């Protein structure tokens, strides 16, 4: 997630000041950034989906109370819409780069889209961080199987 933040900052400064990044243009580095960004956000979603499934299985096996499942569902209802919105905003901004480069869209929309996506990504980092903590708390409250 830190790499995503750094990549977004680099792409933003590259587009604003017009400098190259490792010898590549703003658009080419943005292509690299969106690939890394999408993969990373997908891995985060996969973590929560797979651990949530394991928690549900553990609760159905009697290793925890139903209140833990309620907390898990609340966590997912908070996290997943924000994750999806972040991917949508950053992906939309990336698509807009191509449209601007090909003179197909208005350029004035590019920077507001970037700032909206960037600020929402910062917000989602806060949500992801607290969600990771809550997920680990739920996992730690599962009781081990009696031996």
* Residue 78 lies inside a defined structural domain of this protein: yes
* Residue 53 lies inside a defined structural domain of this protein: no
* Domain with 136 in it: 66-147
Rounded-to-integer distance, Cα 60 and Cα 120, Å: 36
Place of tokens 């973590």: 47
* Residue 46 lies inside a defined structural domain of this protein: no
* Residue 132 lies inside a defined structural domain of this protein: yes
* Residue 45 lies inside a defined structural domain of this protein: no
Indicate the pLDDT class of residue 147, thresholds 50, 70 and 90.
Answer: low
Task: Give the N- to C-terminal CA distance of the chain in Å, as an integer.
Answer: 39
Maximum distance among all Cα pairs of the chain, rounded to whole angstroms: 68
Q: Are 86 and 120 contacting, i.e. CB atoms less than 8 angstroms apart?
A: yes
* Residue 8 lies inside a defined structural domain of this protein: no
Could you report the per-residue pLDDT of 74-125, keeping only the tens digit for each? 999 999 999 999 999 999 999 998 888 888 878 889 899 999 999 999 999 9
* Residue 50 lies inside a defined structural domain of this protein: no
* Residue 91 lies inside a defined structural domain of this protein: yes
pTM for the whole structure: 0.87
How many separate domains does the chain show?
1
Q: Which of 46, 118, 32, 105 is nearest to 80 (CA)?
A: 46
CB atoms closer than 10 angstroms to residue 142:
16
Could you report the per-residue pLDDT of 37-88, keeping only the tens digit for each? 999 999 999 999 999 999 999 999 989 899 999 999 999 999 999 999 999 9
């Amino acid at each position: 997630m830190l790499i995503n933040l750094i990549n977004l900052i680099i792409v933003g400064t590259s587009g604003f000041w017009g400098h190259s990044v490792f010898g590549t243009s703003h658009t080419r580095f943005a292509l690299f950034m969106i690939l890394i960004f999408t993969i990373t956000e997908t891995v985060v979603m996969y973590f929560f989906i797979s651990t949530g499934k394991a928690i549900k299985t553990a609760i159905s096996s009697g290793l925890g109370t139903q209140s833990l499942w309620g907390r898990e569902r609340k966590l997912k209802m908070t996290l997943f819409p924000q994750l999806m919105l972040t991917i949508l905003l950053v992906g939309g901004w990336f698509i807009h780069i191509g449209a601007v480069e090909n003179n197909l869209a208005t350029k004035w929309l590019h920077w507001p889209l970037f700032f909206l996506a960037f600020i929402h990504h910062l917000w989602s980092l806060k949500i992801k961080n607290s969600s990771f903590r809550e997920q680990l708390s739920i996992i730690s409250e599962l009781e081990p199987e009696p031996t």
